[in-house]
Amino acid sequence: MKLSNSSKIIIILFLLTVVFWISLFFITDSAILDNIRRFTQIPLVIIPLIGGLLGLRNGLNWGGMKSVLGRSVLGISLGLLAWAGGMIIWNYYLFFTVVEVPYPSLADVIFILSWPLWTYGLLQLSRAIGLRFAWKNLSHKKSIFFISGIIILLSVYLIFGVARDWGVSFTDLNIKLFFDIFYPIGSIVISTLVFLIYWLSKGFLGGIYKTSIIVLFSGFIMNYASDFTFSLTTTNETYFNGHFVDFMFTVAMFILSLGLSMLNSSILNIREDKK
């Protein structure tokens, strides 16, 4: 698939970010390094922000809310923009207050919007690639339910057990408890949906947009791994701004943004014009 200008913009932004991360290895002064590390949070605003805006344009080009694929692209794009919005608040705390790891905070109120928006986008995507038809013709439904159950149980163990050391406290009903529960549940829902959609539709998934959809799915899986690692480091109190998990999040936002930029209706129009 030929890359669009939007995809090239996303790739250039990511490559510049990689160069910046590599440069950190050459800084030997710990005080300077601690200060420079804060700037690793800025690409976590820019990449999903631009990716989300480019995705909105693609979604509108697909017909917006009038088409299934348009709704899918818009939902996932708005999820990226919500994530970028959360990072804007995070950066405000980081650069203009004494709070370096704001949790829970207003940033989480914005972050959390990504999960229902991504879920909506994935559900619409499942309709666009014929998931209902695939399900009706599937001969191994019991296997799908079994594997989905394994994924859910494994995710519960990894995210609540390993990453959080079963540290969710129900003694005090507060905003932290809400986020402690909602974040892992959101990750579990997204990862299970990605598996189900890919598994059920892999026999039907083809054409010029196959690559872009697989890229999107890879982005969600990377974000799942990043969420797990972030939860693990915050539970162990080893997280700091500029930790490797921030690079993982950067990769996840890049892949999601790239996948959205590749879902460009103009590619289909070009193919049709050549026929």
Q: What is the dihedral of CA 101, 87, 214, 135, to 10 degrees?
A: 80
How far is the C-alpha of 241 from the C-alpha of 87, rounded, in Å?
12
CA distances from 249 to 13, 26, 40, 175 (A): 14, 22, 11, 24
Report DSSP state, residue 161.
I
| 3-class SS letters over 123-160 | HHHHHHCCHHHHHHCCCCHHHHHHHHHHHHHHHHHHHH
Share of the chain above pLDDT 90, in %: 55
Closest C-alpha to 114, from 52, 46, 24, 170: 52
The tokens for 183 are 């974040």
pLDDT in tens, 110-119: 999 999 999 9
Q: Which of 15-19, 52-56, 97-101, 235-239 has the lowest mean pLDDT?
A: 235-239
Reply yes or no on whether the pLDDT at 268 is more than 60: no
**Average pLDDT value for residue range 229-242:** 88
CA–CA–CA angle 242, 228, 214 (5° rounding):
95
How far is the C-alpha of 180 from the C-alpha of 109, rounded, in Å?
12
Reply yes or no on whether the pLDDT at 29 is more than 90: yes
Whole-model pTM: value is 0.88
**Average pLDDT value for residue range 78-98:** 97
Residue 163 is predicted with a pLDDT of 56
Q: Which helix (H) or strand (E) holds 42?
A: none
Cβ atoms of 55 and 77 within 8 Å: the answer is: yes
Instruction: Classify the C-alpha dihedral 188-193-194-199 as positive or negative.
Output: positive
Cβ atoms of 108 and 182 within 8 Å: the answer is: no
Cβ atoms of 112 and 178 within 8 Å: the answer is: no
**Average pLDDT value for residue range 187-199:** 85
Count other C-beta atoms under 10 Å from residue 12's C-beta: 10
CA distances from 46 to 21, 68, 91, 208 (A): 15, 28, 12, 28
How far is the C-alpha of 234 from the C-alpha of 245, rounded, in Å?
11
